[in-house]
Amino acid sequence: MSVIPAAVSRFFHRTASSPHFYALADRFIPWLTAIFILLLAAGLYGGLYLAPTDYQQGDSYRIIYIHVPAAWMSLFIYVLMAIMGAIALVWHMKMAEVMLVASAPIGAGFTFIALVTGSLWGKPMWGTWWVWDARLTSELILLFLYLGVISLYGAIEDKRAAARAVSILALVGVVNIPIIHYSVQWWNTLHQGPTVSKMGKPSIHVEMLVPLLLMAVAFKFYYLIAALQAAKLELLKREASSQWVKTLLEKQA
């Protein structure tokens, strides 16, 4: 076996260890928090103060600095959950189960924010809070999928069995992600088409685009922080009777 694959194998083996994962999360969370705060401050300052006023929407467009990154995160987190679900089902990796379960409430929160801010944006732009078009409806279904994962996990007492059940649900539900992404291209909807991710030059001014991308990266760091914190709590609940948890609690007492 070569040196690099062996090193990668050791890394994943150690990361799959609950005490090592807990210690690693503890070490990285302060650094992740500092980066998140810097990115968030820069993104909000650029989006709310430096970015020019839109010639059609005025200043009401500035809600995109919350709405768009939240919508991106709602899709991103669910895809990660599906990947972790596949890893949990195939390799029975406990940390994949833990991260899947830890990610669901965060993804639900981002999806809820995307729906609410979208409604707030839609009222002045479309003249209505809500329409049952493909993009909005499929995003609402995504929220129900997140809530389904949370509810199913909480309803099954055996947490390893519960993790397998929610892994299957996450994999089944991932078919909704391309529907959300391509809905504005496949169907005639009120929701505007892609402006950042389309092929070629984005149809958004660079002074508006940079803060938007900063906010998107900031939200990803927030997800890492929140997911690691939730995973730590899940590990403590799952392994409350193990020696490493008892030792940890003794040190903190």
Question: What three-state secondary structure class fits 9?
Answer: helix
For the CA atoms of 210, 211, 216, 221, the dihedral, rounded to the nearest 10 degrees, stands at 110
The whole-number pLDDT of residue 193 equals 54
How far apart CA 177 and CA 162 sit, in angstroms, is 23
- pLDDT given at position 6: 54
Per-residue model confidence (pLDDT) at position 204: 80
Query: Angle, nearest 10°, between helix axes 3-15 and 18-45?
Result: 90
pLDDT under 70 in the chain at which residues?
1-15, 186-203
pLDDT tens digits, 158-168? 999 999 999 99
pLDDT at residue 94, as a whole number: 92
- Within 10 angstroms of residue 94's Cβ, the number of other Cβ atoms is 19
pLDDT of amino acid 1: 45
The model's pLDDT over 190-218, given as tens digits with 9 standing for 90+, comes to: 555 555 554 455 668 889 999 999 999 99
What pLDDT, on the 0 to 100 scale, is given for residue 199?
42
Q: What is the pLDDT of residue 189?
A: 61
pLDDT of residue 90: 96
Structure tokens at 139: 């995003």
Say what the pTM is: 0.90
